[in-house]
Structure 1
Amino acid sequence: MTGTPDIAPVLPPADLPVDLRRVELLCAWLRPEEGVELERISWAIGKRPRGEGWDNVLWPIGTLDGAPLVLRIARRRSSRALLGREVTVLRRLRGLGTTLPMDLPRVIATAEDAVAVEWIDGVTAAECDAATQEQVAEDLARMLATIHSGPAPEVGRNPVRGVPLATRAEHFAADLGRAGLDEDAARRAAETWQAGVGAEEWQGRELLLHGDPHPGNVVVPPPASPGAVTLIDWGDTTRGDPASDLGGLLLHPSASSAGLLDLYRASAAWTGIEDDAIWEALQARARAWATRMALGLVLVYPEEHPLGRTGRRLLAS
């Protein structure tokens, strides 16, 4: 949705190669969303992608009513199902008629292994100044509270989000060992993780989760732009323990992580949020998830990358 930073992450290899021929075929197979007329698209398929991420390639395909369009195409077999989950949840959230604290990507059409969406101009929250980052963090706290408090559609389970922390213990230990943290940072990370694992597990209903709301998945429009801050990349959406989403929230710089979680609590309306024991356990699990996610960022992104800095900042605090 945004320009790719010059310092690229180390992406897993693509086992679904994306080239111009595949893009042209997918465009021919697109099925429009309700209310969309594909005949109104001014087709201008680019010669090369506009960006590439962990799971998808973004390829420019033209405009609709003046709005640039990109085709999000699965670049790995394992990411095929993620696009379907994303479309399911975005349709549901837009259909609720609820005013959300953040905008959502607009799906234009779908095809096998691909989704056409409006391009969202801007930069990620990870690239913004401190004041903007803090405002984004507060908006995201309200956004997650709204999403968690609503109905949860049937979507496939994500094996690494919304699950009990204990199921990720082996991976945490391996990542901590590979991260190369100094002794104090490694000790803090291990203590935070153990506190989360030791907290009472989630016993409530399975809430709808974004799955990966880190600062790279929030797009901030350019100054003076009429666009809204948008929460993107819903491919990891799932149902389960909200602590993993709150771990992603804690990756966003804020004056006070406790204040950010309190803002979430004041905005949420799921059953049990008012119970202090449930809330204390949730906070402990959220901080453990934040540590787990920060390790992942440190291992994937170089120090000069905005998300690399995000992970290192949290682990150093």
Structure 2
Amino acid sequence: MTGMPSVAPVLPAADLPVDLRRIELLCARLRPEEGVELEHIVWRIAKLPRAEGWDNVLWPVGSLRGRELVLRVARREVSRALLGREVTVLRRLRGLGIQLPMGLPTVLAMAEDAVLVEWIDGTSADVTEPRMRAGVAGALARMLATIHSGPAPEVGRNPVRGVPLITRAEAFARDLELADLPPARHERAQARWSAGLAAAPWRGRELLLHGDPHPGNVVVPESGARGPAALIDWGDTTRGDPASDLGGMLLHLPSDALLHAYRDTAAWTGIDDEEIWDALVARSWAWATRMALSLVTAYAPDDGLGAAGHRLLSS
């Protein structure tokens, strides 16, 4: 869809074929979004993909008015529904008619198990320069606050995002053991998780969530380039407790100040209630810890996402 997020060393096996023949067939079957004229596309279908992630393959297919286009194609059966969910939410957000704090992927057309999008040039936030992290994190805080405060379309539920923390307890315990942290970090991780479990659960309306706003899913313009950072990969979008999104946000910059920047912009019912807020903060740090453990067990310490996980756990 854009600058591809970093991936773990070993990807899940693909059970849908993604080869040149399938790409050509999908391009011939594309259905344009409203207002998009596919006849202006200059087709140059590459022989090989540009990037491959857990759920999708990104395949260069040409350009439209000078903008590079890629076809985002599901590589697993389980990711088929994610593409449709992603397009539903992106259409809704673009239809709000407001200036968002971050950019979004531009969907041009769809086919079975595929979405045609503009490539977003830049560097993912997990490997961007450290001096830029605070600004990017602040923009993400405002972006999530805006998304959470708006209408939530009917989208499929994500089993591991926006859900009660207790449902992730087994995964937390497994990754805490696998991470083999120094004693002080182990105790801090366990304390944050326990505090989140002890906090009051989310009882507000189910908010629209990005689902996975970790640093690999934010594309930052190259130095000197104009325009805002972009929040990509909306396949995990869902509804529920905003704490899981805020946990992903804290991986960018582990700081209570970032949570308060989110609060300054958010406008959902209950955001000004101190008890609701304090419980949300506790759950957010628990979610951040859970996500950081999953990163340090999947990525090397010198990988951008692995480093983000270690920074959170050492904060």
Opposite residue 133 of structure 1, the aligned amino acid is R
State the match for 1:49 in structure 2: 49
State the match for 1:246 in structure 2: 246
Query: Is the CA contact 1:122–1:221 (under 8 Å) kept in the aligned structure 2?
Result: yes
State the match for 1:227 in structure 2: 227
Opposite residue 282 of structure 2, the aligned amino acid is A
State the match for 1:2 in structure 2: 3
CA distance in 2: counterparts of 1:30 and 1:197, whole angstroms: 46
Gapped regions of structure 2 (runs ≥ 5): none
State the match for 1:214 in structure 2: 214
Q: Quote how far apart the aligned CAs of 1:131 are.
A: 2.0
Query: Is the CA contact 2:5–2:217 (under 8 Å) kept in the aligned structure 1?
Result: no
Query: Is the CA contact 1:130–1:253 (under 8 Å) kept in the aligned structure 2?
Result: no
Query: Is the CA contact 1:211–1:238 (under 8 Å) kept in the aligned structure 2?
Result: yes
Residues 1:95 and 2:95 are matched in the alignment: yes
CA distance in 2: counterparts of 1:300 and 1:21, whole angstroms: 33
Opposite residue 163 of structure 2, the aligned amino acid is V
State the match for 1:16 in structure 2: 16
Query: Is the CA contact 1:158–1:238 (under 8 Å) kept in the aligned structure 2?
Result: yes
State the match for 2:257 in structure 1: 259
Deviations 1:150-175 (A, max 9, x none): 00000000000000000111111111
Q: Quote how far apart the aligned CAs of 1:83 are.
A: 0.6
Q: Quote how far apart the aligned CAs of 1:31 are.
A: 0.6
CA distance in 1: counterparts of 2:181 and 2:226, whole angstroms: 42
Counterpart of 2:307 (choices 306, 309, 313) is 309
State the match for 1:174 in structure 2: 174
Percent identical? 68
Gapped regions of structure 1 (runs ≥ 5): none
Deviations 1:79-110 (A, max 9, x none): 11111110000000000101100010000101
**Aligned-partner SS, 2:10:** coil
Judged with a 3 Å threshold, the aligned counterparts in structure 2 of structure 1 residues 280 and 159 are, in CA distance, closer, same or farther, namely: same
Q: TM-score, normalised by structure 1?
A: 0.96
CA distance in 2: counterparts of 1:203 and 1:50, whole angstroms: 43
What is the total number of aligned residue pairs between the two structures? 314
CA distance in 1: counterparts of 2:228 and 2:140, whole angstroms: 13
RMSD after superposition: 1.3
Q: TM-score, normalised by structure 2?
A: 0.97
Deviations 1:4-25 (A, max 9, x none): 76x9632211111311111111
CA distance in 2: counterparts of 1:200 and 1:176, whole angstroms: 23
Q: Quote how far apart the aligned CAs of 1:228 are.
A: 2.5
Query: Is the CA contact 1:4–1:51 (under 8 Å) kept in the aligned structure 2?
Result: no
Counterpart of 2:288 (choices 287, 290, 308) is 290
Residues 1:131 and 2:146 are matched in the alignment: no
**Aligned-partner SS, 2:208:** strand
88-97 or 169-178, which deviates more: 169-178
CA distance in 1: counterparts of 2:281 and 2:179, whole angstroms: 24
CA distance in 1: counterparts of 2:160 and 2:118, whole angstroms: 28
CA distance in 2: counterparts of 1:59 and 1:203, whole angstroms: 42
Query: Is the CA contact 2:4–2:217 (under 8 Å) kept in the aligned structure 1?
Result: no
CA distance in 1: counterparts of 2:134 and 2:264, whole angstroms: 17
